[in-house]
Chains A and B, each alone.
Chain A
Amino acid sequence: MDLKTLCETQGVSGREEPVRRMVYQECVKAFGMDAVTFDGLGSVLAVRAAKKPGKPRVMLAAHMDEVGLLIVSATDDGLLRFRAIGGIDARVLVSKRVRVGYDTPEKPSLQGVIGAMAIHQQTPEDRKAVLPIDQLYIDIGAKDKAEAEKLAPAGTLVTFDTPFTPFGENCLLAKALDDRAGVYNLLRLLDAPYDGELIFAFTSLEENGCRGATAAGYRVQPDIALVLETTSANDLGETPEALQVCRVGEGVCVSFMDGTSIGDAELYRALLAVAKEKRIPCQVKQFVSGGNDAGALQRSGAGSRTIALSIPCRNLHSPATVCSLTDVDAQEALTRACLITL
């Protein structure tokens, strides 16, 4: 499964089925039908049996869902009102293209755009104020309310419409690199050398409060969980170094601590040591911010030892997320190398 297909597939939190189908098929191909299950919240759990006893049970996790928009109603003139699913800054939405509904063989998604008042007609106050999401609309070209409601009824999901584009030096521009890049690496790791029991968890609902991981952690109760994630990089535009969080292209980012958990100290030291020994590009997260499945897995059920390995990603939760292939590969390499030492 290539990263382009994964990024361009639609899968907003709670409705991850297009991604889930792909992931399920890949896991079944690798381990057989009996080893792959769905949990109560739609996470895909693929279990690889232990080859030797006495090794810790390790979970590798990445989330399938992406941030998106949810249609709630239509205006009289046929525009679609929406709400955000996941943390989307309203400032990134104006003048962007979106896909309304999911693509199916019978019915394609609809093209939509998010417009706003022309600069010519804005008052000085308009120019300053952020347009909140309840004042933004998706325009699919519908003529009136009835047509809009027929084409995109309330509950229709919307994803960004950004073609996967390699650019610059080793860089990628796409929607939903958070966390399809992690899903991509998790699929590459299905054959990772490890003698203990290995559980691959493709979680749902991360952007809605890490709920999928909470349930998956309870079901699996791993000894150790490694979370393959993306994290916000703010390394451009003259941001002071200490506030950049991490830098794109300088390797996988290991979290000492973020907004929801403190990385397991032993795992943290082990990861940095392995990276150094194997010369895998690696950096430390410089700023305590964000949160991810590691927090949920750490405290689900009886608890697990967790740490997040993140790909630095610019413009997180926007239509144009950017990361480096160097860092994608480093995440995979460091996870693989770390497993052998456990």
Chain B
Amino acid sequence: MVRRVVKQGGGTPIRKAQIAGFSRATVSANVALSRLDEYNRPVVFGKTTPADSAAQPSDIRAVRAIGDPTGKEGVTDMDILTYLQEASTQFGPSGHEYAIAEWYKKRFEPLCDTVTIDPLFNVLATLKPTVKPARGGHAPRILLCAHMDEIALMVADILKDGSLRMGNVGGVDPRILPAATVTVHGHTVAGKPAPLCGVVGAKAPHLLNDEEQKQNYKREDLYVDLGLPVEKVKKLVHVGDLITLNGRTVGLQNGRAAGKTMDDRACIGVMLEAAERLQKMQHASEIVFACTAQEEVGIRGAKTAAFNVDPDLAVIMDVSHAPIPASRPDTTVPLDAPAATYGPRIQYKLLARLLDTAKQHGIALNTEQAESYTGTDTDAVQIGRAGIPCVLIDLPLKYMHTTVELLDTNALRECGRLVAHFTAEIDEGWDDELWI
């Protein structure tokens, strides 16, 4: 096991508080305030929206959602829409999480005691217990998992006319590609990054026969237009270079938001929300937040994350499908609240505990089934080491794996509150009657 330990702190002023013999970091008030200013920029309606590229964050409507329905617990300092917007512009295709891992490390550092990055670029952020375990024995360790990698494309071929053919990195639906804008991550001979704006074009309609007109474009029929002559393309772009989808995150009515990489960076937002809440809560367990890598190509990062953390139990967070008009029965959960999964890969007693926690704290929590695989990090974490009891919390969204993945920021906040309470209430003895 190789674990790269990274220095804590990162220049952010932190305040150490001694609680029950354990030290922990909390965000200082001035940091939180200055961040608020930055987050709550006013919206300029009717103005030109900035360019659809990773480099330029756009104007947004700051959504201040209500936390718990009674409002007793207040809201966290994190502005969800701004977080989603910033997270979606970070580069992190599956297997290339080096940049986004550093970004998440910085996000978790003010909230956690240690943050490390493992060889697969999983970010592991640890929050030490604040109180001693109930019986003075073993403090449980909880792994929280959400993946940070994004689906992307790669350059498969450079054509004579300078356009590019694409290969797939994760499950990009070719239906979303015609007239989409993308960023081609080229580089110079010296290795200097040269990101290029591209537009996806399709075989012209007049070249399609009647049968083809009725069918969707296949990825092979599409190409990326860089607006450059072939000789310049060849200097900057290489077969194997990554292509990421563009699409700024936008605020919609009722605190809803749409953008790319909500799957699954929205759920890392849930973890950040929970981490912020946990600053003010007591917990007997060690809590490890894992931003996992390579989920979209076969749930690979979670495997080593589970091995490295060696937890007693795990809470996995991933996105799920909310209903749209074409949905088939029993394949969706409502958009406005998180959902818990039941099925063979979920520990049933832990699930019961989760549902109970939600009920006690007035958090709406729906349920959905996963009769075989879950298609989430759960599938790898459950069989980590000697077996790890898992629960899976889903954040519903519409239009998964598009650049307009649409979710409810209130549901995201509530999900964070649920995770905070669930983890804070796990104490020694949590597993006394786990299997009987």
Task: Judge whether A91 and B204 touch: CB under 8 Å.
Answer: no
> Is the beta-carbon distance between A236 and B223 smaller than 8 angstroms?
yes
| Interface segment, one of B7-15, B50-58, B83-91, B299-307 | B50-58
Q: How far is the CA of A82 from the CA of B394 in the complex (A)?
A: 31
Q: How far is the CB of A329 from chain B (nearest CB, A)?
A: 16
**Which one, A26-34, A50-58, A95-103, is touching chain B?**
A95-103
Q: How far is the CA of A163 from the CA of B50 in the complex (A)?
A: 6
Complex contacts, B207 vs chain A, CB 8 Å: 234, 239, 243
What is the bound-complex CA distance between A117 and B207, given in angstroms?
A: 28
In the complex, chain A residues whose CB is within 8 Å of the CB of B160: 238
Our pick among A119, A142, A238 for the contact of B171 (Cβ within 8 Å) is A119
Total contacts A to B, CB within 8 angstroms? 225
**A117-B397 Cα distance, complex, nearest whole Å:** 11
A144 to B223, CA, bound (A): 39
Contact yes or no, A239 B204, CB < 8 A: yes
Stretch of B27-35, B380-388, B400-408 at the chain-chain interface = B400-408
Q: List the B residue with the shortest CB-CB distance to A243.
A: B207
Chain B residues near A4 (CB-CB < 8 A): 48
Q: Determine the residue in chain B with the shortest Cβ distance to A75.
A: B325
Which residues on the B side are within 8 Å of A141 (C-beta)?
Answer: 252-256, 258, 406
Interface centre among B217, B328, B398 (most CB of A within 10 A): B398
A121-B331, A169-B229 known; A115-B406 Cβ under 8 A: yes
Q: Closest Cβ of chain B: how far from A103's Cβ, in Å?
A: 4
Tell me the bound Cα distance from A113 to B206 in angstroms: 28
**Chain B 182-211 per-residue mask, 1 if CB under 8 angstroms from chain A, else 0:** 000000000000001111111111110000
Q: For chain B residues 130-189, which have a beta carbon within 8 Å of chain A?
A: 159-163, 171, 173, 175-176, 178-181
Q: Give every chain B residue within 8 A of A341 (Cβ-Cβ).
A: none
Residues of B within 8 A of A130 (CB): 213-216
Q: Check B254 against A127 for contact (C-beta < 8 Å).
A: no
- CB under 8 Å from chain A, chain B span 276-309: none
B178 adjacent to A237 (CB under 8 Å): no
Give CA–CA (A282, B323) in the complex, Å.
52
Say yes or no for A199: interface residue by CB 8 A criterion: no
A216 and B252 alpha carbons, distance in the complex (Å): 41
A235-B161 CB under 8 A given contacts A97-B250, A119-B173, A163-B51: yes
Quick check: B45 and A103 within 8 Å, CB to CB? yes
**B375 within 8 Å of A by Cβ?**
yes
Inter-chain CA distance A165–B50, complex, in Å, is 9
Bound: A3/B9 CA distance, A: 48
- What A residues does B196 contact at CB under 8 A? 167-168
Identify the closest chain A residue to B200 (Cβ).
Answer: A320
- Min C-beta distance of B262 to chain A, whole Å: 12
- Of all chain B residues, the one with the shortest Cβ separation from A244 is B204
| Interface presence of B247 (CB below 8 A) | yes
Q: Known contacts A130-B216, A173-B181; is A114 also within 8 Å of B404 by CB?
A: yes
Q: Are B176 and A94 in contact (CB under 8 A)?
A: yes
Distance of A114 Cα from B255 Cα, bound (Å): 18
Asked whether, in the complex, the Cβ of B250 is within 8 Å of the Cβ of A232, the reply is no
Task: Assess the B327–A117 pair: CB atoms within 8 A.
Answer: yes
Question: Contacts A118-B400, A141-B252, A165-B53 hold; do A8 and B327 have CB atoms under 8 A apart?
Answer: no
Tell me, in angstroms, the Cα distance from A296 to B23 when the chains sit together.
Answer: 79
With known contacts A119-B173, A238-B159, A108–B46 Cβ distance under 8 A: yes
Residues of A near B50 (CB, < 8 A) are: 163
Q: Is A223 an interface residue (CB 8 A)?
A: no
Please, which residues of chain A bring their CB within 8 A of the CB of B222? 237
A151 within 8 A of B: yes
- Whether B201 lies near A237 (C-beta < 8 A) is yes
A113 pairs with B399, CB closer than 8 A: yes
Task: Say how far B120's CB is from chain A's closest CB, in angstroms.
Answer: 24
Q: Are A165 and B51 in touch, CB under 8 angstroms?
A: yes
CA distance A269 to B255 in the complex (A): 60
**Are A96 and B161 in contact, CB atoms less than 8 angstroms apart?**
no
Contacts A95-B403, A165-B197, A173-B199 given; indicate if A151 touches B161 (C-beta within 8 A). no
A211 at the interface (CB under 8 A from B): no
A171 at the interface (CB under 8 A from B): yes
Per the bound structure, the CA–CA distance linking A137 and B326 in Å amounts to 11
Residues in B neighbouring A315, C-beta threshold 8 A:
178-179, 199, 201-202
Please give, as numbers and ranges, the residues of chain A lying within 8 Å of B161 by CB-CB distance.
Answer: 235-238
- On whether the beta carbons of B179 and A319 are closer than 8 Å, the reply is yes
Contact of B232 among A8, A122, A128, A169 (CB under 8 A): A169
Given A118-B321, A119-B173, also A287-B214 (CB < 8 A): no
B362 within 8 A of A: no
Identify the interface centre among A161, A165, A322: most chain B CB within 10 Å of its CB. A165
In the complex, what residues of A have CB within 8 A of residue B248's CB?
97
Contact B325 A91 (CB under 8 A): no
Interface string of B316-343 (1 = CB under 8 A from A): 0000010111111001000000000000
Q: Which 8 A-B pairs have the closest CB atoms?
A: A168-B227, A141-B252, A115-B399, A171-B227, A108-B45, A95-B176, A141-B256, A118-B400
Give 14 A-B contacts (CB < 8 Å), ordered by A residue. A91-B178, A91-B216, A92-B179, A96-B179, A97-B250, A105-B46, A120-B171, A121-B327, A137-B324, A139-B398, A235-B161, A237-B201, A237-B222, A245-B204
